[in-house]
């Protein structure tokens, strides 16, 4: 069934329209009129089947996309954005409603299903929509897309700091709960013993008694291995139970077999694809998540995001440059002619006569004007800071690799919307100032 559109063409006898009561110079009202929602609704129709079997009709596309943009604009959860939507008439008008709504528009879980339905490619259309809106409002010009800054940052996952003792104990607990759920009898579950042992290991580490701490970790590994082998003996020959325990037992095997110098280590049991990344920060030596690459405009209108994607496998930055620039061209329709990157992109291997890449600390062919342009490359760092503190880049709470990809694209879309709203506020302030000066004269 195809989603319906919000239709307020008919007048309501008992309610006044929001468009006649709200401030017409408010940023959300201006932006909502600049965005071509019809194009987005037409592109998303193919994601819905029209088999005529009935059922509950999907929610309007504009409502769902608007809620996602507002969520990443204000760093809210799924529940938070739905609750605030009911209390804020500007948000309701932005999502296509011209009459005040008194009830929740959707169940918060619908946002999770909508993100899964669209995927990375579907949400890239939302990013493209914000870029077009930025051009219409005047935040950027198409000529700004030819000169860009490319850089990567770490997008942390929503996990606790991984320690050997906690990971081993968590793996044992998950196997025991699964055994209880499927009524698999165990010789011993070690719940009481491991709870006491975990507290002892924490105390030893705090007191810098590392020999005792390592002995405790070895004992914890023994208990986890006993539970693992016990479950394998009990489910041997039962194909249905082996399939249910397969994922959890594989994680436990991987955890018990890894050492300090092992590659592809597991740092979280509910997020096994999490990677350990070192960016050379003095305050934070290691971060746990995945890399995210962003392309922003360079120059006067610096900061408008043209492309954003999550990169798994901790790739070398230079090997991701070509893909990032190609994604930027796909989003804007304009090929970048100059790209400014840091020293981590040396050896990128791109040979294009129409594209010039300037790296930090580069000596060959650098003039005085290029030096000034290279100094502007560092302007991407505060934008990363704003994305992490005001947006949702600081912690990805979406599950799995698919969640990382979706999250990076929506962070870029929400940040573009924030820049558009800030531009509208500055423009209105300048207009009021000019009017005030004219009246005084």
pLDDT digits (tens, 9 = 90+) for 194-204: 999 999 999 99
Residue 62 lies inside a defined structural domain of this protein: yes
Q: Which contacts of 423-426 are long-range, i.e. CB under 8 A and separated by 24 or more positions?
A: 423/137, 423/138, 423/139, 424/25, 424/27, 424/30, 424/31, 424/137, 425/27
**Both tokens assigned to 196:** 């006491």
Q: Kindly state whether residues 287 and 362 are assigned to the same domain.
A: yes
Q: Kindly state whether residues 147 and 57 are assigned to the same domain.
A: no
Q: pLDDT exceeding 90 applies to what percent of the chain?
A: 43
Q: What are phi and psi of 7, to 5 degrees?
A: -120, 110
Q: Kindly state whether residues 153 and 190 are assigned to the same domain.
A: no
Residue 131 lies inside a defined structural domain of this protein: no
Pairwise CA distance, residues 85 & 106, whole Å: 10
Residue 13 lies inside a defined structural domain of this protein: no
pLDDT digits (tens, 9 = 90+) for 125-170: 999 999 998 888 888 888 888 899 999 999 999 999 999 999 999 9
Q: Kindly state whether residues 179 and 149 are assigned to the same domain.
A: no
- Name the domain boundary from 118, 150, 185: 118
- Which residues are 291's β-sheet partners? 154, 311
For 173, the domain range is 164-257
Q: Kindly state whether residues 25 and 87 are assigned to the same domain.
A: yes
Judged against a pLDDT cut of 90, whether residue 190 lies above it is answered with yes
Pairwise CA distance, residues 285 & 388, whole Å: 18
pLDDT at position 36: 84
Residue 215 lies inside a defined structural domain of this protein: yes
**Both tokens assigned to 324:** 């990032």
Q: Kindly state whether residues 154 and 285 are assigned to the same domain.
A: yes
pLDDT digits (tens, 9 = 90+) for 304-313: 899 999 999 8
Q: Kindly state whether residues 171 and 155 are assigned to the same domain.
A: no
pLDDT band at 428 (very low <50, low <70, confident <90, very high): low
Q: Kindly state whether residues 102 and 44 are assigned to the same domain.
A: yes
Q: Kindly state whether residues 148 and 285 are assigned to the same domain.
A: yes
| CB contact set of 262 (below 8 Å; sequence gap of 6+) | none
pLDDT band at 58 (very low <50, low <70, confident <90, very high): confident
DSSP at 187: S
Q: Kindly state whether residues 345 and 196 are assigned to the same domain.
A: no
pLDDT band at 432 (very low <50, low <70, confident <90, very high): very low
Residue 439 lies inside a defined structural domain of this protein: no
Residue 422 lies inside a defined structural domain of this protein: no
């Amino acid at each position: 069934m195809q989603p319906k559109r919000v239709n307020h063409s008919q007048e309501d006898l008992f309610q006044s329209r929001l468009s006649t009561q709200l401030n017409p110079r408010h940023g959300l009202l201006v932006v909502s009129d600049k965005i071509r929602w019809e194009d987005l609704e037409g592109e998303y129709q193919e994601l819905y089947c029209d088999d005529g079997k009935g059922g509950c009709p999907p929610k309007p596309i504009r409502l769902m996309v608007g809620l996602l943009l507002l969520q990443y604009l204000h760093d809210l959860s799924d529940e938070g954005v739905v609750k605030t939507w009911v209390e804020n008439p500007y948000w309701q008008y932005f999502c296509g409603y011209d009459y005040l709504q008194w009830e929740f528009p959707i169940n918060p879980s619908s946002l999770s299903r909508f993100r899964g339905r669209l995927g990375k490619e579907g949400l890239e259309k939302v990013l493209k929509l914000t870029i077009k809106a930025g051009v219409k409002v005047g935040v950027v010009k198409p000529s700004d897309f030819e000169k860009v800054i490319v850089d990567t940052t770490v997008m942390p996952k929503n996990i606790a700091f991984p320690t050997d003792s906690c990971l081993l104990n968590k793996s044992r607990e998950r196997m025991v709960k699964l055994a209880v759920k499927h009524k698999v009898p165990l010789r011993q579950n070690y719940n009481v013993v491991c709870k006491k042992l975990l507290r002892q290991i924490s105390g030893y580490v705090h007191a810098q008694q590392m020999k005792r701490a390592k002995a405790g970790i070895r004992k914890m590994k023994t208990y986890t291995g006993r539970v693992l082998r016990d479950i394998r003996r009990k489910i041997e020959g039962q194909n249905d139970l082996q399939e249910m325990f397969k994922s959890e037992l594989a994680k436990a095997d991987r955890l018990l077999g890894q050492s300090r110098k092992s590659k592809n280590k597991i740092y979280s049991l509910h997020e096994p694809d999490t990677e350990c990344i070192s960016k050379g920060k003095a305050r934070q030596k290691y971060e746990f998540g995945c890399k995210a690459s962003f392309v922003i405009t360079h120059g006067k209108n610096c900061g408008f995001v043209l492309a954003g994607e999550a990169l798994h496998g901790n790739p070398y930055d230079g090997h991701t440059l070509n893909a990032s620039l190609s994604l930027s061209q796909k989003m804007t329709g304009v090929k970048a002619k100059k790209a400014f990157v840091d020293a981590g992109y040396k050896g990128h291997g791109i040979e294009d006569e129409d594209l010039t890449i300037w790296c930090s600390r580069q000596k060959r062919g650098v003039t005085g004007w290029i030096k000034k342009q290279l100094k502007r490359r560092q302007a991407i760092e505060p934008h990363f800071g704003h994305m992490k503190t005001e947006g949702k880049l600081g912690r990805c709470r979406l599950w799995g690799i698919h969640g990382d990809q979706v999250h990076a694209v929506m962070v870029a879309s929400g940040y573009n919307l924030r820049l558009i709203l800030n531009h509208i506020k500055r423009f209105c302030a300048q207009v009021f100032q000019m009017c005030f000066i004219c009246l005084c004269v």
